[in-house]
Amino acid sequence: MLVSAQAVAGTIGGGHLEWQAIALARERLAGDPAPLLRHYALGPSLGQCCGGALDLSYELLQPSHLAAWPPDASRFEVALFGAGHVGRAIVQALAPLPCKVLWIDERDEAFASDRPWPANVSLLCVDAVDAEIAALAPDTRVLIATHSHDLDLKLCTAALQRTDLDFVGLIGSATKRVRFVRRLAQQGLEAAAQTRLICPIGLPGIEGKEPAVIAASVAAQLLSKA
């Protein structure tokens, strides 16, 4: 865990132990930064019911520490098609989560914003967005929420034709799913592939049509598969 006077990166597990460790680290930064080894008994000294004991080593940050700092682990990758209100809300919901997001739309203006997008998000603006399905890595989780039902259908067809994509989700109602499955069947898509289409997206039982509510539900659904 890295501790500065204003910020913290990483964790040693949270709780009262972490709170004390941060406070002591900042005291060391303001005074004596020499290395320190401190023993903690989690039960009697910190009032934590988990018990046990541990040692924490405090050291001033060196270039060698940064070189050995592990990169953020990504649990899954998401390909999000559509930069409308729901797409934007999903991007924000996924921002603090351990995942990578490829955000794809055919409209330049859809990505226009005064704010920087989250660090785990890559933007891709292309004319033939459905062609990008073929370039996705295996096990990518696909979310389809574009401005066009025809484009949604093209994306669903391309995604379901692949057997190595972890999740194919389409925004919409149960009625939309019925209509899409019928059209997918007319295009010759096998029944087994049709059953993989998840629509509506999001965890069941969470009510609300607001973009932020949908996005929270979708983020929880993706995490439940992680």
Q: Say how far apart CA 70 and CA 65 lie, in whole Å.
A: 10
CATH assignment of 76-224?
3.40.50.720
Q: From CA 185, how far away is CA 188, in angstroms rounded? A: 5
Q: What is the pLDDT of residues 169-208, one digit of tens each?
A: 999 999 999 999 999 999 898 998 899 999 999 998 898 8
Domain residue spans of the chain: 2-68, 76-224
Mean of the pLDDT values across residues 104-123?
84
Are 141 and 111 spatial neighbours (Cβ–Cβ below 8 Å)? Answer: no
Strand partners, 78: 101, 141
Cα–Cα distance measured from residue 193 to residue 185, given in angstroms and rounded to the nearest whole number:
10
The pLDDT value recorded for residue 73 is 77
Contact 207, 193 (CB under 8 A): no
14 or 51, which is more confident? 14
CA 10 from centre of chain: 17
pTM over 0.85: no
Q: What is the pLDDT of residues 22-71, one digit of tens each?
A: 999 999 999 988 899 998 887 766 666 666 788 999 999 988 888 887 77
pLDDT tens, position by position, 127-153: 899 999 999 999 999 999 999 999 999
How far apart are the C-alpha atoms of 106 and 82, rounded to whole Å?
8
Q: Contact, 91 vs 101, CB < 8 A?
A: yes
Confidence label for 121 from pLDDT (cuts 50, 70 and 90): very high
